[in-house]
Structure 1
């Protein structure tokens, strides 16, 4: 009997000690979040849209206000300028910023391939043969400095061209991009889906580089290339761990849903204007990029190294020996979210 009493007392004592800790883990430091994204209608950010539309952020106790900007570089500027707490954007920005001695950290992955394709206009470049034909031409990207710009730079560098050999034009990731290419305002385009599939299927472009599949990404980058993720200042992650955990939970919940979602589920969930007036082509685009969407929010070990190698190949300011990749991301929050949702 005395042993039982002692065991009960010990258990109660342990519970009383653990209770404050458990409460601390559940308390969200910043329930209202300003989140910036550049081109939210693109499949690149589909996990963000799904998590928002299905109420997964609210389910985690968050009030997330999403600002949709012209491109990823604008979203990054919002974070640096203080008008955004968190960005849904390309992972490589964490490396670029560290090269400028500013530390931002990715904490949940949305895409495991860039889902970016580059094509030349069949209208203005019908005689295209090699990358050198792009010298002096206008290339449309979502926004200067964005991930689409980065992929375009990488493709050009492999043809012996520098960024200064062409003119980059910001065209967004929606109807404006379609119009710019079809009207002849640009000679080539590097963009995401559904824009690229729509241009491709209508015969408006000839695809010359494609990272919408894992195989295509391997061919272009030589390894796994992380794409969209949630990132923020390293200090924000340190000071708001429960908030970051809630955000990661919501995204991984969305990724889990996407694993089994059918075409009709997608159509019912995304806003009507994301379809760009053609449901069939939108779904064709989704099928093309589906494998590029992250599964569980975890950053693959080789991914950051691939990104660093790619950036260093055309960006002189990025010195591989000066970049600490361990400070560009953490899998701590995604790992817990994966366990929670069995993703």
Structure 2
């Protein structure tokens, strides 16, 4: 009898363990068309998500999702905050004081990760659109007959805004494409893009790696012209990334999943507007509200930031940028990219809202 009771107890314990494991592994997010979002139910309690964003155009997905109510559908309240520099922002992100931020590839960014600042690279926040890049080379207008090809930049003074950052990486890719080395040109470090316009005007530089809307502004002032397009030599460049706090991505999964779903919906509206002219005026109104470019007419002329509607990044390119900085002896330590890059929440959001296909 005692033996039978022991067997029964063992069976009950095994059942409880198996049931518990099954329950913990079950997907507790149910998609329902009856939810305000048309997919996931809103959070039971309104939750604030803090985003470090300074009004950059690459934050379009955040702005559009907020203005069109996609975050509201999930009972998420967005709070934007700014930091003077990434050196202050990254520790706050790692500590969970900020949930989401935008980041660009620099040696200092990778050094922070190598030295123990734990942040997650989770989604795309800036790449090139083929043939109309928002971050590309320009040449002085009076040099158009002299500079016909990238190789013609030999001996020219070229302004670039930073060293051992994505700007430098794009510059080096251009030189490689042109069959040139840095010794063949004169590198001019000019951290302020606005100063590049003045330098074009006084002819102290011949070319520059410039950004919108200053590319369009310089063209309208007859200071420079676009020179080719950055997709000529760097079509798969990852310019900026969405960064996440580890605690937000790994622990607050009910919130981060909904956040990412709303963000991608905003990005999709952005793509519909600028690539397919669907809802363009509405999206431009949102962009003029949240960014420094306040002229709707200029928004229809500029090359806009590429934002992937499925959040996908050029991961191999991120690694290539790191390798360049490392080759320049600008990296102190190593980065475990399998740990630093975490696209799991983005992939789960795609499972919920479906892939964007056009």
Q: TM-score range by the shorter chain?
A: 0.5 to 0.7
Offset at 1:121?
A: 4.0
Offset at 1:81?
A: 5.0
Q: Report the CA distance shift for 1:325/1:124 in structure 2 as closer, same or farther (over 3 A).
A: same
- Structure 2: how far apart are the matches of 1:249 and 1:80? 26
The answer to whether structure 1 residue 107 and structure 2 residue 122 are counterparts is: yes
The answer to whether structure 1 residue 337 and structure 2 residue 354 are counterparts is: no
Offset at 1:91?
A: 5.6
- Structure with larger Rg: 2
1:3 aligned residue: none
Counterparts of residues 175-190 of structure 1 (less than 5 Å): 176=194, 180=198, 184=202, 187=205, 188-190=207-209
2:8 aligned residue: none
2:299 aligned residue: 282
1:267 aligned residue: 284
2:192 aligned residue: 171
* Corresponding residue SS for 1:119: strand
* Corresponding residue SS for 1:87: strand
- Structure 2: how far apart are the matches of 1:145 and 1:237? 29
1:31 aligned residue: 47
Offset at 1:46?
A: 2.4
* Corresponding residue SS for 1:229: strand
- Structure 2: how far apart are the matches of 1:28 and 1:118? 49
Q: Is the 8 A contact 1:29 1:242 kept in 2?
A: no
TM-score normalized by structure 1?
A: 0.67
Offset at 1:251?
A: 1.3
The answer to whether structure 1 residue 255 and structure 2 residue 267 are counterparts is: yes
Q: Is the 8 A contact 2:160 2:208 kept in 1?
A: yes
- Structure 2: how far apart are the matches of 1:257 and 1:274? 17
2:256 aligned residue: 244
Please report the RMSD computed on the Cα atoms of aligned residues, expressed in angstroms: 4.4
* Corresponding residue SS for 1:64: strand
Count of paired positions: 302
- Structure 2: how far apart are the matches of 1:69 and 1:191? 23
2:181 aligned residue: 160
Gaps in structure 1 of 5+ consecutive residues? 1-12
Gaps in structure 2 of 5+ consecutive residues? 1-18, 30-39
- Structure 2: how far apart are the matches of 1:95 and 1:69? 18
- Structure 1: how far apart are the matches of 2:164 and 2:255? 28
- Structure 1: how far apart are the matches of 2:204 and 2:80? 30
Q: State the Cα deviation string for residues 183-221 of structure 1 (Å, max 9, x = none).
A: 65973543432322332354322434633xxxx1xx423
- Structure 2: how far apart are the matches of 1:123 and 1:96? 41
* Corresponding residue SS for 2:301: helix
- Structure 1: how far apart are the matches of 2:46 and 2:160? 37
- Structure 1: how far apart are the matches of 2:260 and 2:222? 39
Q: Report the CA distance shift for 1:312/1:206 in structure 2 as closer, same or farther (over 3 A).
A: farther
Offset at 1:327?
A: 2.3
Which of 311, 323, 337 aligns to 1:312? It is 323
Structure 1 stretch 322-331 or stretch 245-254: which is displaced more?
A: 322-331
- Structure 2: how far apart are the matches of 1:325 and 1:341? 27
Q: Is the 8 A contact 1:34 1:65 kept in 2?
A: yes
Counterparts of residues 203-214 of structure 1 (less than 5 Å): 203-208=222-227, 210-211=229-230
* Corresponding residue SS for 2:341: coil
* Corresponding residue SS for 2:190: strand
Offset at 1:133?
A: 1.9
Offset at 1:232?
A: 2.9
Q: Report the CA distance shift for 1:49/1:336 in structure 2 as closer, same or farther (over 3 A).
A: same
